Amino acid sequence: MRFFRLFKIIFVVLRFGLDEFLLAHARGHWLHFPLKTLLFLRDTSAPRAVRLRLALESLGPIFVKFGQMLSTRRDLMPTDLADELAKLQDQVPPFPSAQSITLLEATYGKPLLETFKSFEETPVASASVAQVHFAVLHDNREVAIKILRPGIKHVIDHDIALLKIVADLMEWLWADGRRLKPRLVIEEFEKHLTDELDLTREAANGSLLKRNFARSNLLLVPEMYWDYCTSEVMVMERMYGMPISQVEGLRAANVDIPRLAANGVEIFYTQVFRDGFFHADMHPGNVQVAADGRYIALDFGIMGTLTDTDKHYLAQNFIAFFRRDYKRVAEVHIESGWAPADTRVDELEAAIRAVCEPIFDRPLREVSFGRVLLRLFQTSRRFGIEIQPQLVLLQKTLLNIEGLGLQLDPELDLWKTAKPWLERWMSEQIGWRGFFKALREEAPHYATLIPQLPRLLHQRLHENPAAGIETAMAMLLIQQRRRNTLLTVIAGILLMQLVWMCWLLTG
């Protein structure tokens, strides 16, 4: 079975003339003669990027999905390939409804109509990994049921193994193979696919996003019905909305389009900087608009996460960019660990200036945050900067959000919308408001810790009066160190005072 699949891959590679990628390397010279005998198979009339897209489409949904992911790795892919792969559409014929019913009955251990009051056999959506049916529960709640394709795990394991073989050949035969790291890219792809195969995980993602926006009047997230969710089936609230791509229909429904576009930008920055948890697959198929103008988020298989440190440095980067403070941008890259510690600030600053100055010669309304990140990723290779996966997801999502926003409102000023939000967030993080917020968050912890300090320090002093103070101070300060410097200073002052009291008591 695997042999025939590999044979098909080779056939498709030759048919679309993709062997040119392999023959670009000296190691592939021995392939010239045997491939010349198969020239009748080749069609090289289209550009190489188009041929690559068509080849992936002919190999099936898993390869299409792989191509979609490759299109987001613009830090690795040549521009022509990335632009063409972004056109891939994951439109997969549905599997038979009888299989859906069989799987649901096996999952719940009873006939379908004992679990659901009604079930629509025709799926409403179908993709490479799963398809969706509408149904009604016996308590009249309307639901959407996402069901994994039968046998999909075996198909994925099979195709991933073949992709790894292809990756190894690319690294050996293609001139750019080692730099593009195809093996690592495929392993990253495998991880994302594995996550998508666990619908319990996706349901948990949706549940967290809903909780994060529980008090928001901008975004609706369907409720997950956990009693019906398993790793192969996800049952959630059915949402009613209009696809965001139907702009004329939204206008006819009296939706305020400019406000909708601005709200989309605000939702994105709220997810990224407030929550550090964002929907990373915001293409038009996963976004609808409710009758009251609120966004509806669907499909939570791909979510991005950011640490507090990532959020802090990203906000500083964005603000420094639009102040044209390129030295600060370079410093932030090094401070964050994104650039090697021995990177010369002046050289990185000059490279960033060369990327950004042409962009900022245009009105700020025309500046794309996603394009700025993309150009920086491309520039970063010469400085040995390893692009963090969470930042690649962020850049991909940012491009999606900007595309949606500008599709809705071509006059949308992304900077005007984002700058006040970012500056307010930075003020909350590092200004006085940020200090008191952090103090409130840490207060319960310190309220528990501080009464214990005299006893802990006394124990150490009793064991070794000379070394105990230094050791205890170091351990406690390390344990209580936080990213907010003022809190650390206060904790240090309190500890010093307690040490002095204990020294007096034991002296």
Rg (the chain; Cα; Å): 27
Give the whole-angstrom CA distance, residue 480 versus residue 495. 11
Q: How far apart are CA 324 and CA 347, in angstroms?
A: 16
Give φ, ψ of 224 to 5 degrees: -90, 135
For 109: left if phi > 0, alpha if psi spans -120 to 50, otherwise beta; the answer is left
Residue 112 φ/ψ, nearest 5 degrees:
-55, -45
Residue with tokens 């025939």: 4
- CA separation for the pair 335, 307 (Å, rounded): 15
DSSP state for residue 144 in the 8-state scheme:
E
Place of tokens 């990756």: 167
Q: Do strands 219-220 and 142-148 pair parallel, antiparallel, or not at all (unpaired)? A: unpaired
Total number of residues shown for the chain: 507
Q: Pairing between strand 233-237 and 116-119? A: unpaired
75, 281, 299, 310: the catalytic one is 281
Smallest CA-to-CA distance from 74 within 387, 368, 322 is with 387
| Active-site annotation holds for 281 | yes
Strands 277-279 and 303-305: antiparallel
Task: Note the helical H segments in 279-431.
Answer: 308-322, 326-335, 345-360, 369-380, 389-408, 414-430
| Cα 405 → chain centroid | 19
d(CA 221, CA 160) in angstroms, rounded, equals 32
Phi-psi domain of 384 (left: phi exceeds 0; alpha: psi -120 through 50; beta: other): left
Map residue 434 onto helix, strand or coil.
helix
Name the amino acid, one letter, at 391: L
CA separation for the pair 150, 479 (Å, rounded): 49
Count of helices and strands (H, E) across the chain: 24, 11
Number of CB atoms found within 10 A of residue 66's CB: 24
Nearest to 393 by CA among 266, 302, 298: 302
Q: List, in sequence order, the alpha helices (H) in 16-91.
A: 19-23, 32-36, 48-59, 61-72, 79-85
Angle CA 476–477–478, to nearest 5: 90
Burial of 331 (0-12, 13-18, 19+ CB in 10 A): middle
What residues are labeled active site? 281
